[in-house]
């Protein structure tokens, strides 16, 4: 019996099974990369319910909006700290924080690669001690604001979010709010890659919206890029929890001699090149895609 027990103890630990739904997402990402479908969702997000102007208070001007915003931010900070304590969110290092501190009162558009539901928590945590009133304005998907359930749905609706909308009148309110925030020295986090691709490490081609907002408001872009490495901890999905290094890069300013359209294109291309440089230097490989 003792001999069998010893033999059993010396057996290598069995690798945890990977979640089939996550494996399916990994395969879908590979397919979308191959087909160049860079901005399409790979997750099964809640369907969008159109957001009308009366259903959103972008600037939290109502007393009730202010209350729920403060409450939601308090809950979010507690939740982030719990995720960090439990190692569900691991921030290994923040590089380039001086680039944010020197410009913390500059109205700007923050861009970041989008690969996890927690990546905005990582961005926030990197600048928490310096961001305005510990509140970061974040653009989110229309359906996440109007139709996301539970605790995260509550955060989407109240935690300094600016939902996009398929309604033209609502988008006018959105653009007015963006102008207000930027003109008052606030930053707005916008995911220029658009869709979230789970644990995807490469920078993807960027959409124009974030850079058009920056250009129209004569504001700079603050590029953030998060690189990842496998931690020794296995998550509930059977995959290694990722350790994040948050790179805060120098600001990209619009050029006076360029039009809004030209500036949007210039800042978009400069942003992508800055991300590409970080990717290639961090991982030690050239950026290539498996496209057909």
Q: Domain ranges for the chain, please list them.
A: 56-283
Q: What is the pLDDT of residues 214-234, one digit of tens each?
A: 999 999 999 999 999 999 999
pLDDT score, position 82: 98
pLDDT score, position 15: 72
Query: Rounded distance, CA 280 to CA 174, Å?
Result: 35
Do 197 and 29 touch, CB atoms closer than 8 A? yes
pTM of the model: 0.93
Handedness of CA 56, 58, 60, 65 (dihedral sign): positive
Spans of the chain below 50 pLDDT: 1-3, 5-8
Distance of CA 105 to the CA centre of its chain: 21
pLDDT score, position 7: 43
pLDDT score, position 46: 81
pLDDT score, position 131: 96
pLDDT score, position 3: 46
- What are the start-end ranges of the E strands in 29-167? 90-95, 108-111, 137-140, 161-163
Of the candidate CATH numbers 1.10.3470, 3.40.50, 3.30.70, 3.40.1130, the domain formed by 56-283 belongs to 3.40.1130
């Amino acid at each position: 019996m003792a001999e069998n027990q010893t033999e059993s103890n010396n057996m290598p630990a069995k690798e945890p099974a990977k979640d089939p739904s996550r494996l399916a997402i990994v395969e879908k990402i590979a397919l979308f990369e191959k087909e160049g479908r860079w901005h399409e969702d790979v997750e099964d997000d809640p369907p969008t319910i159109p957001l009308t102007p009366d259903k959103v208070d972008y600037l939290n001007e109502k007393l009730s909006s202010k209350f729920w915003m403060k409450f939601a931010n308090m809950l979010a900070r507690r939740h982030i700290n719990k995720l960090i304590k439990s190692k569900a969110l691991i921030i290994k290092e923040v590089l380039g924080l001086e680039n944010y501190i020197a410009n913390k009162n500059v109205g700007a558009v923050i861009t970041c690669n989008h690969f996890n539901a927690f990546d905005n928590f990582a961005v926030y945590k990197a600048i928490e001690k310096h961001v305005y009133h510990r509140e970061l304005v974040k653009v989110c998907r229309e359906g996440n604001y109007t139709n996301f359930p539970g605790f995260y749905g509550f955060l989407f609706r109240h935690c300094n979010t600016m939902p996009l909308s398929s309604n033209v009148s609502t988008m006018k309110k959105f653009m007015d709010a963006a102008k207000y925030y930027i003109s008052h020295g606030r930053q707005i986090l916008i995911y220029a890659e658009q869709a979230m691709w789970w644990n995807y490490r490469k920078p993807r081609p960027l959409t124009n919206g974030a850079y058009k907002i920056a250009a129209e408001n004569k504001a700079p872009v603050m590029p953030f890029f998060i690189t990842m490495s496998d931690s020794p901890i296995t998550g509930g999905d059977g995959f290694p929890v990722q350790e994040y290094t948050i790179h805060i890069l120098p600001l990209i300013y619009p050029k006076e001699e360029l039009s809004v359209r030209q500036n949007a294109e210039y800042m978009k291309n400069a942003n992508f090149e800055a991300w590409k440089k970080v990717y290639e230097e961090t991982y030690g490989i050239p950026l290539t895609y498996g496209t057909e």
